[in-house]
């Protein structure tokens, strides 16, 4: 009788290599997008050529690389969960129409060399707008927004530290940038810190309670740096946006009042008890009380606005072309978003800008501000500041924050546990 011998199956001890899941790869993508977006917002047109001592070129600007990374990640094949329903399609259309017509106006620009620099600005804004719309469909936009918020905090805290360590006299600025830009950035830092102090969208726990005075102090220091920048537009816009943030907050009214009073008390202590406070008082007295109130000095804004109004009226339909204000006047722009559009792109540009702003406000009113308080407040900060200083590119945070606010999903209602 024959017996069959069964050979034991070979036992493999080696494991299959771990394959990244779509969720994990998606998370990394969204984190990188958030950081690239923060770098784009903070870096402005700053160039490494300023410190490397090489010939200034667009390729040396970190914003260009940030936008390249953002667009490349946005159009990667999406394997995971698709984003929610995009509400801002009409807003995107209005935004692209406004930016696109401004870009087309290069064809009748008086000086092509000046217009080319602004054309790069507009091309980057258009690329970011399209990338954000794509990300709203293919990613968890709330994770991207969270990373953007954290990245902005880190970058702006670094700028604030450089300013405090520098300790130079006059209007404060860093890394070769202008004081108006620095004031706007510190206003943004003030809102971010105030939002953290109010714990919007952050899980409450007793272990995190000691962070409240830390963020309140950061908000106070940032407000002091806004004053030290000497930018009156940044001061006004920061006060208005901070007030809106306090009103819109999901925190209890008692908590909002406590935070507001705590920040106010810390700020008074900062003014009275620290050397930084002495400089803040001196800057505020010089720039606001003496120049603005007593001498009615407005940094030639009245003259600039009059030139923009009268000059735009000579070509009221399509304006004088891209960068024409810089070509025909001693100033680089009209220091007012609407007047800038009026002078360079005429009634068509103003109408497209109004369509974008009106449609954005209408949709934000429909979806509500719950879960979007920070982004709405930042948008208001930039919009108000854009009436006193800067041009189209300086309002880039307005475009980004409106897109994020419209793309974010509605927050889930909190379920109270029964005792």
Among candidates 146, 257, 248, 235, which has minimal Cα distance to 190? Answer: 235
On average, the pLDDT of the chain sits at 85
pLDDT of residue 168: 57
Higher pLDDT, 242 or 24: 242
Q: What is the mean pLDDT of residues 296-321?
A: 91
Flag whether pLDDT at 13 surpasses 80.
no
pLDDT of residue 89: 86
Flag whether pLDDT at 185 surpasses 70.
yes
Q: What is the mean pLDDT of residues 388-416?
A: 83
Q: How far apart are CA 395 and CA 226, in angstroms?
A: 18
Question: Residue 63: which pLDDT band, with cuts at 50, 70 and 90?
Answer: very high
pLDDT of residue 419: 43
pLDDT of residue 135: 92
For residue 30, CA distances in Å to 72, 83, 133, 150 come to: 12, 12, 13, 13
Among candidates 369, 150, 145, 376, which has minimal Cα distance to 250? Answer: 369
pLDDT of residue 111: 92
Flag whether pLDDT at 256 surpasses 60.
yes
What global pTM score does this model have? 0.88
**Could you give the percent of the chain with pLDDT greater than 70?**
83
pLDDT of residue 417: 46
pLDDT per residue as tens digits for the range 349-360: 999 999 999 999
pLDDT per residue as tens digits for the range 263-284: 888 899 988 988 888 888 888 8
Which of 82-86, 199-203, 397-401 has maximum average pLDDT?
397-401
What is the sign, positive or negative, of the torsion defined by CA atoms of 150, 152, 154, 160? negative
Query: Please, what is the end-to-end C-alpha distance for the chain in angstroms?
Result: 76
Q: What is the mean pLDDT of residues 155-176?
A: 82
Flag whether pLDDT at 206 surpasses 50.
no
Q: What is the mean pLDDT of residues 91-106?
A: 96
Cβ neighbours for 125, distance < 8 A, ≥ 6 positions apart: 99, 392, 393, 396, 399
pLDDT of residue 2: 44
């Amino acid at each position: 009788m024959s017996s069959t011998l069964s050979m034991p199956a070979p036992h493999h001890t080696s494991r299959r290599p771990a394959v990244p899941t779509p969720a994990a790869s998606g998370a990394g993508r969204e984190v990188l997008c958030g950081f690239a977006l923060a770098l784009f917002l903070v870096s402005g047109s700053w160039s490494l050529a300023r410190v490397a001592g090489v010939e200034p070129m667009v390729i040396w600007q970190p914003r260009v690389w940030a936008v390249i990374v953002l667009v490349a990640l946005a159009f990667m094949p999406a394997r995971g969960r698709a984003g929610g329903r995009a509400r801002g399609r009409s807003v995107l259309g209005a935004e692209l129409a406004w930016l696109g017509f401004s870009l087309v106006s290069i064809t009748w620009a008086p000086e092509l060399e000046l217009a080319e620099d602004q054309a790069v600005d507009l091309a980057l804004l258009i690329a970011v707008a399209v990338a954000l719309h794509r990300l709203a469909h293919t990613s968890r936009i709330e994770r991207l927004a969270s990373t953007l918020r954290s990245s902005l905090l880190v970058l702006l805290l670094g700028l604030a530290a450089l300013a405090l360590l520098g300790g130079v006299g006059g209007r404060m600025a860093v890394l070769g940038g202008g004081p108006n830009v620095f004031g706007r950035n510190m206003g943004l830092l003030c809102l971010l810190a105030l939002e953290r102090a109010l714990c919007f969208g952050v899980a409450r726990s007793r272990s995190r309670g000691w962070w409240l005075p830390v963020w309140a102090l950061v908000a106070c220091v940032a407000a002091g740096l806004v004053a030290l920048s000497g930018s009156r537009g940044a001061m006004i816009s920061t006060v208005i946006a901070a007030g809106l943030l306090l009103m819109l907050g999901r925190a209890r009214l008692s908590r909002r009042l406590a935070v507001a009073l705590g920040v106010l008390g810390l700020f008074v202590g900062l003014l009275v008890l620290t050397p930084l406070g002495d400089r803040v008082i001196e800057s505020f007295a010089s720039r606001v009380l003496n120049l603005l109130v007593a001498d009615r000095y407005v940094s030639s804004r009245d003259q600039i606005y009059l030139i923009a109004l009268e000059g735009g009226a000579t070509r009221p339909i399509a304006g004088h072309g891209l960068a024409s204000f810089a070509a025909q006047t001693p100033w680089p722009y009209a220091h007012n978003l609407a007047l800038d559009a009026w002078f360079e792109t005429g009634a068509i540009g103003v109408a497209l800008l109004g369509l974008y702003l009106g449609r954005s406000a209408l949709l934000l009113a429909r979806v509500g501000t719950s879960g979007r308080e920070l982004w709405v407040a930042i948008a208001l900060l930039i919009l108000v500041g854009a009436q006193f200083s800067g041009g189209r590119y300086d309002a880039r945070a307005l475009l980004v924050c409106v897109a994020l606010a419209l793309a974010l999903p509605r927050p889930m209602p909190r379920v109270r546990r029964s005792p």
